[in-house]
Amino acid sequence: MSHKHKITRRKFLGRVGLGCASLGVTPLYSGVTNLGLMNAAAAANRSAFGGADYKALVCIMLSGGNDSFNMLVPRGQSEYQEYADVRGNLAIAQNELLPINPSNVSGQEFGIHPSLTNIQNLFEEGNAAFVANVGALIEPTTVAEYQDDLNLPLGLFSHVDQRNHWQTSVPQNVNNIGWGGRLADILYTNNNNNDVSMNISLDGVNVFQRGNIVQEFAIGYQDNGSVLLNGSGENDFYNTLKRQTLDNLLDQTYHNILKTAYANTVTSAGNSSFSFSSAIAGAPQINTPFAEDSLSQKLLMVAKTIAARNTLDVCNQTFFIELGGWDGHNDLLENHTTLLSQLDAAIGSFQLAMAELGVQDDVVGFTMSDFGRKLISNGDGSDHAWGGHSFVFGNPVNGQKIYGQFPDLFLGNTLDLGGGRLIPTTSCDEYFAELALWFGASSSDLYQIFPNINNFWTTTQDGPLGMFS
């Protein structure tokens, strides 16, 4: 399929340039570094005057592109029929949908995938919310602007590019500095102990947690969180990439970015592993049962780390977890059910563990994915698209709501680029800015963390979506 906006490797490399310095990336991040240092000093000042409460953000990356139009579904008769007509053999039966009752939507009924029983309960209790039709954007975009290739994210519909954009929130460039890293660069001095990074990864190298000052600390999810990555040779690097479903990473620019990040991560992890493992071993025991699959066990390790927060002497932590397998070109209905069931069970156990530890008001989890998928079926699945739905969970969330604009689902609507490939109506920046503000960033910090945020939101308003108001 050919589109004017799709760029060749030659054109892509021409835009990016060696070292990712084109389009102002070097001055941008030099400025961010300096401002980050000043804000880190300010954060230390704030901490000195009364300290800070503990807060944790848990990022779950659904790698491959979640078919989220089967995760959140209109359930009213006319709206459901529109959904069923466009989805064809991918549609979930209306009577199988789990009903939800969003408090901020009138005149429309919604349901969620039948596998999401825990998410349904969290939503109805006011402790979970959906963000509708969200995606990587530089600025609000129309079909006409897309057709004219005006200010679009690099590499639309590409797994590697779009996954990178969700983690950096700078979709006009390729770089290895994530918004979670920039957030940590500002707030890391809230933690009295910086021997163990504020940013902890259960899945090795990731861009989301990589900052100019703060690097991710990579751990395992067995025993006491022994370091996930060992050694620094070429074989370790490529095995790590494969394990993170990045083995299709062919471009040399990406290769160098992640290779450098990997080497730094190994060094950081090796230096911190002993004190971290000791803290986990001495933390209060968690009695909440977790399933044996890898996602559940990773969330159990997150819970153990949170249980050790006092020993680790930290006030802020982010966690990164990746669950692969969402690239639903084939066997979509069966595979999607399996993945959503696994995700739902893991989150259900995690929320019970947070209550057991008494930190249910201090922890927020959220999902990201490469992109949404096309509304139409390719016969047995659905192909790459752009906008899709995400969800956020935890007691602090102003839940039982659908944030953003739920799109029309008929072909040829004002957001449709063809085949039910929808332009996002909410930017990642708006979604993530809500999380950053809750975590402790100030509204003035947001311009450093999300360079495009002023295209969608101004500090004269409350939070972009009101997710925590």
Q: 50-64, pLDDT tens digit by residue?
A: 345 999 999 999 999
Residue 466 lies in a domain: no
422 strand-pairing partners: 416
Percent of the chain with pLDDT over 90: 73
Across the range 11-39, mean pLDDT stands at: 36
Q: How far apart are CA 107 and CA 5, in angstroms?
A: 37
What separation in angstroms does the CA of 19 have from each of 7, 148, 255? 19, 28, 12
Please tell me whether the overall predicted TM-score, pTM, comes out greater than 0.85 for this model: no
Q: Which pLDDT belongs to residue 55?
A: 98
Residue 192 lies in a domain: yes
> Is pLDDT at 90 greater than 60 in this prediction?
yes
- 279 falls in which pLDDT band (50, 70, 90)? very high
Residue 461 lies in a domain: no
Q: How far apart are CA 270 and CA 257, in angstroms?
A: 20
> Is pLDDT at 322 greater than 90 in this prediction?
yes
Q: Which pLDDT belongs to residue 223?
A: 77
Which comes out higher in pLDDT, residue 234 or 170? 170
Q: Which pLDDT belongs to residue 271?
A: 52
Q: 330-348, pLDDT tens digit by residue?
A: 999 999 999 999 999 999 9
Q: Which of 66-80, 252-266, 289-303, 353-367 has the lowest mean pLDDT?
A: 252-266
Q: Which pLDDT belongs to residue 274?
A: 73
E strand or H helix that includes residue 111: strand 110-112
> Is pLDDT at 20 greater than 50 in this prediction?
no
> Is pLDDT at 154 greater than 70 in this prediction?
yes
Q: Which pLDDT belongs to residue 260?
A: 52
Residue 347 lies in a domain: yes
Number of domains in the chain: 1
- 459 falls in which pLDDT band (50, 70, 90)? confident
**100 near 404, Cβ under 8 Å?**
no
- 410 falls in which pLDDT band (50, 70, 90)? very high
> Is pLDDT at 48 greater than 70 in this prediction?
no
Q: How far apart are CA 320 and CA 206, in angstroms?
A: 8
Percent of the chain with pLDDT over 70: 79
Burial of 4 (0-12, 13-18, 19+ CB in 10 A): exposed
The rounded radius of gyration (Å) of the Cα atoms in the chain is 21
Residue 468 lies in a domain: no
Residue 464 lies in a domain: no
Q: 215-266, pLDDT tens digit by residue?
A: 999 999 987 776 544 333 344 444 544 444 444 444 444 445 555 555 454 4
Q: Which of 18-22, 124-128, 216-220 has the lowest mean pLDDT?
A: 18-22
Domain that holds residue 279: 9-455
Region of residue 165 (left: phi > 0; alpha: psi -120 to 50; beta: else): alpha
Across the range 303-320, mean pLDDT stands at: 97
Residue 218 lies in a domain: yes
Q: Which pLDDT belongs to residue 463?
A: 86
> Is pLDDT at 166 greater than 80 in this prediction?
yes
Mean pLDDT, all residues of the chain: 85
Burial of 2 (0-12, 13-18, 19+ CB in 10 A): exposed
Residue 379 lies in a domain: yes
CA angle 129, 135, 141 (to 5 degrees): 125
Q: Which pLDDT belongs to residue 42?
A: 41
> Is pLDDT at 423 greater than 80 in this prediction?
yes
Q: Which pLDDT belongs to residue 11?
A: 34
